[in-house]
């Protein structure tokens, strides 16, 4: 693998990781990019289309983590 190919692959990996680990809602373009990178993401996405102005897909990886962290926080503060 050439240094240029390796660099491009690394950029794609970081873009994929950023989208999948930080964005609760993603656009159709972001979904297409991530799906092309890893076909298994389809089980972690929920199509919401016109129901949200924030994006076309709900990223269940991030959504589930957020709900978990909120529940832990509530338990820690006694609420």
In this structure, what token pair is assigned to residue 76? 């820690």
Residue 10 above 70 pLDDT? yes
**pTM beyond 0.85:** no
In this structure, what token pair is assigned to residue 16? 């994929």
User: CA 74: distance to chain centroid?
Assistant: 25
- Structural domains in the chain (count): 1
pLDDT in tens, 16-70: 999 999 998 999 999 999 999 999 999 999 999 988 888 999 998 887 767 777 7
d(CA 14, CA 68): 25
Contact call for residues 57 and 46 (beta carbons, < 8 A): yes
pLDDT in tens, 33-44: 999 999 999 999
Expressed as residue numbers, the domain containing 23 is 3-77
């Amino acid at each position: 693998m050439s240094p240029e190919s390796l660099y491009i692959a690394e950029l794609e990996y970081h873009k994929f990781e950023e989208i999948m680990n930080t964005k609760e809602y993603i656009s159709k373009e972001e979904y297409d990019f991530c799906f092309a990178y890893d076909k298994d993401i389809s089980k972690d996405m929920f199509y919401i289309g016109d129901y949200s102005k924030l994006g076309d897909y709900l990223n269940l990886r991030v959504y589930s983590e957020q709900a978990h962290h909120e529940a832990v926080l509530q338990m820690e503060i006694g609420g």
